[in-house]
Chain A
Amino acid sequence: MLNVEHIDVHYGDLQVLWGVSLEVKEGEIVALVGSNGAGKTTLIRTIAGLHKPSSGKITYNGNIMNNQSPHKVVTLGISMVPEGRRLFPKMTVLGNLEMGAFLRKARREKDQTLNWVYEIFPVLSERAQQIAGSLSGGEQQMLAIARALMAKNGFLLLDEISLGLSPLLVKIIFDVIVKINKTGISIFIVEQNVPMALKVADRAYILESGHIVAEDVAKKLLNSDHVREAYLGMSPI
């Protein structure tokens, strides 16, 4: 479904990603974990079209995605929940959701999708007329995810959705992510919350200093010595 092949990404002269390759198959949840500054966000933003790779190739369902502008990437079927939510703060909750359904095909099914999204996040239907900037952090994150779902795309990129949320909310949000995945939406997660991401994901990649250093079934990575030592602060088994 989504294939990233040997991409290099630079910020000016500084190289951030080095020959990164990964793959997300239809119906999978794939996690990319790693510490701060490893290049996780750069990678997910490159897939979304917000950065251009200097070499390598990104394909989605056969379409070449590198060098596409972000709005084109959405049109081709990939939606993103950006880091820090990035809601339209002065618009209402409903207004934000409507913007999520901006694509022509999504606009036609807007009311249906809206009902579906309200079913997933009932709190949003209660807050429909409230200004997005006035929501609590957890509600804002729910709205950001709901807004991305409004595009009716088969692929979701999630960038650090646990950031700044209480452990309980993180659990609630990740339960929802699994539920969304069950409806047939493939998901690529970038997370600093390594245990949570590895619990919900089918497969995972570890990114360190711009290189993919490990790739495996998520459960196996969760129990590997490297992950236990470097990310969970535990001693090897």
Chain B
Amino acid sequence: MGQTLVYGILNGALYGIIALGIALVFGVMRYLNLAHGSFIILGAYGSLFLFHLGIDPFASIPVLSIVLFVAGAILFKTSFSRLTTFSEGNKIKNSLLLSFGLMLLIENLATLIWTGDERSITPPYSGLTFGIFDLRIPFIGLAGGILALVLISFLHLFLTRTYFGKSIMAVSQDHEAASLMGINVNRTFLISFAISLTLASIPSVLIGLKAFSPTGGIQWFNKGIIVVMLSGIGNIYGVLPAGLFLGIIEAISVFIFGAPYREVTGLALFVLIMILYPTGLFGIRIES
């Protein structure tokens, strides 16, 4: 049981970082980026490529971050920026359409380039564990958990302490009012989108160290979007606890019902919570 919980927590941290990127874009510009998972997979291929050149997967995170940031900026400028003037409902629908197409494009390109075979990055330390009491803790999983904490703390500091970060929060709450403060809303959108893809670099490596194939992105997106909903829409700080919650629940369900029912329990729980707490577990309600 204890061992199951360890894996649940480590998986949950990974879900949390995936959700962070989705939540940022959704919170700031009301876009649902269905291709977020596909970018994680692309990042995993990038990390694998660098690994073959002799670069450690964790050392490839900064490189991936920069590449994904630039890719995000270009992608926003050429496609997603066209949706900014739509109404909120139309933004969600059209961003879903656009990113769905993008996801198919990425999946098929990746299949063409790398074939559909499952790949994995295998540094010498993969699979190594250490023991505390009678629990086995994998090094890679632990590193992922720590990275998740560091990342969320950094994002928190950025959003609450820096002027630019605060302006992102302002845009997410009322972008028209933000523009009246002198905030360049389109630039804020562009940078938030680019940051969201940058956030995909860490899950890229963590998933790269597990196993991945061209069409795996949507599964990870599913985990991410469930966590975003659980944490409460627009609430960036809830994603880590919500991710851990989903990870732990999945782990417990594996322990009780067996591995085949893992996804079912996660989704059933999601539906249940949506019925009981429609604003999410950590959603903040403001009386207006």
Contacts and interface: CB of A to CB of B under 8 A. Distances in A.
B166 interface: yes
Contact of B177 (A87, A90, A131, A151): A87
A82 B176 CA distance: 9
Contacts of B169: 88, 90-91
Contacts of B111: none
30 contacts: A48-B180, A49-B179, A69-B179, A70-B179, A71-B179, A71-B180, A71-B183, A71-B185, A74-B180, A74-B181, A75-B182, A79-B180, A80-B180, A86-B180, A88-B178, A90-B173, A90-B284, A90-B286, A91-B170, A91-B173, A98-B166, A99-B166, A99-B167, A99-B183, A100-B181, A102-B183, A103-B182, A107-B163, A147-B181, A148-B180
Given A70-B179, A89-B173, A134-B287, 17 more contacts: A50-B176, A71-B179, A71-B183, A71-B185, A82-B177, A82-B180, A87-B174, A88-B169, A88-B173, A88-B174, A91-B173, A99-B166, A102-B163, A102-B181, A102-B183, A103-B181, A133-B287
Interface of B: 163, 166-167, 169-170, 173-174, 176-186, 284, 286-288
A74 B173 contact: no
A56 interface: no
B182 A74 contact: yes
A71 B287 contact: no
Nearest to A110: B163
A99 B176 contact: no
Interface in A47-93: 48-50, 69-71, 74-75, 79-80, 82, 86-91
Given A80-B180, A102-B163, A102-B182, A133 B288 contact: yes
A75 B288 CA distance: 30
Interface in A94-151: 95, 98-100, 102-103, 106-107, 131, 133-134, 147-148, 151
A147 B174 CA distance: 14
Contacts, number: 80
B174 A86 contact: yes
Contacts of B183: 71, 99, 102
Given A88-B170, A88-B173, A98-B166, A134 B180 contact: no
The winner among A95, A102, A147, A151 for most chain B CB atoms within 10 A is A102
A98 B178 CA distance: 12
A99 B169 CA distance: 10
Contact of A99 (B170, B184, B284, B287): B170
Contacts of B173: 88-91
Contacts of A88: 169-170, 173-174, 177-178
Nearest to A104: B182
A91 B177 CA distance: 13
A109 B3 CA distance: 56
A48 B183 CA distance: 13
Contacts of B185: 71
Contacts of A71: 179-185
In the complex, the 3 A-B pairs of residues with the closest C-beta atoms, listed nearest first: A74-B182, A86-B177, A70-B179
A213 to B, nearest CB: 29
A163 B73 CA distance: 41
A57 to B, nearest CB: 22
B179 A151 contact: no
A75 B176 CA distance: 15
A235 B126 CA distance: 89
The winner among B180, B284, B288 for most chain A CB atoms within 10 A is B180
B279 to A, nearest CB: 13
Nearest to B179: A70
